[in-house]
Chain A
Amino acid sequence: MINEVRNAVLSITNKNNYGYISPSDFNLYAKNAQMEIYEEYYSSYNKTINAENLRTSGTEYASIEQPVAEVLESFMVTNYLTPSANNIYNIPSLITTGDESYMLLKVLCYTNQLRTGTNTAILLNSLVDSTALFTTYGIAAGDIVVNLTTGVVSSVSAIVSNTTITLTSSAFLAIGNSYAIISAATVAEAEKVHASKITLLNNSLLTAPNTIYPAYVMQGQTIVVYPSTINKKGQVQANYFRYPKVPKWTYSTLSDGSPVFNQSQPDYQDFELPTEDEYKLVTKILEYCGISIRETEVTQFGMAQQQHEQPTFSMQQ
């Protein structure tokens, strides 16, 4: 989609010889435009809920909530969080999970630790512990297996014997790695609590966080999970909306002084928004371009087109 958007932008700006947009400028504008539209989806979602409560939205094909929700859900991911110290976990980032969290939707805590030990042999996609009695610990397929030495998380595929478990992916590449097996069946959703309330909550007799009703607070780039007995990799899993990947229009050669689109470049990244947002992207980028080349007509054109494109429900709010 990114090439179509760029061609449309260049076409409009070049039509009246307003100017040329370089690939680096375009990529900059494309990133901002995508982010702006992405954030609009959240406010749009809120408006659709209000519209539903006002009975101005229907269901099935008349639903205005569903398309918005589906776009947002395309950015939803689930990953295990990495503890930075004790019960403090890093929120998803490029370093820890490979993507950045825009908003944490829910934090799940797995509190029932079935077994800890050290692996004694290496077998492909397996956990081998000659001292274990895996058939007696209540382990079931799907339970979480964490290599506490490397932080790699896998899950139980099958229990082969008392000493061997097959895993869904390889997690043990060396002997002597400590591991933990955590029940996937005992899961509790941690509640987000404001930092101003957590002390009171911890001191509350009836509602203090526990393994059935855990809680967490945001603290910088980390979350602090309560009770503090939740402190291992594999025990905390986050379900979150990630930021869209930064779009990049890539090119390989210059033909007649112009770059030629090449999507096979390793750093190529298309827009992640749905196709119906192409028009919005073009107008948003035009708005930026107009400001850049100091052509108010281009900016006004972009803004006018965006107004025209606004869905009906948002105009009612």
Chain B
Amino acid sequence: MRGVLRNALLMMAGCAALAAAASADEHEHRARVPMLKAYVQECSGCHIAFPPRMLPAASWQRVMAGLATHYGSDASLDTATVNQISVWLNANAGTGRRVREAPPEDRITRSDWFLRKHHEVAPGVFLRPSIRSAANCAACHAGAERGDYDDDGVRIPR
């Protein structure tokens, strides 16, 4: 019984913390699109929660339709969550001239704007053990988790 009570208390504390975190987020990042909680929860286990503006809606649609074979991993989800995240991605997808066209394989890292932005980064740099992949934004962009990709915050690890 004690275990049940402790779990219930832990869960309540967790819920309270979640609610507090959600409201703090809204205040700090009003200028950016606030991240959908389900999106962060479900999509940032293996990679950071990429800002939806980095891909066009057509790419997000294909990504969400193929989660069972997601860049070499099974990222399948229940239908309700898939639908919820899809609607949000569709509403917040990139629409500007730079992001309008779907990149090869719907990979952010193969977008023209991404390649242009990183043209000074030598190819081997992304493969360093400290970075491992161009998709590992947070390795160099310290503010990536908060949606901050500003050039000024870049520090490339050795």
A and B from one assembly? no
Partner-B contacts on A (CB < 8 A): none
Partner-A contacts on B (CB < 8 A): none
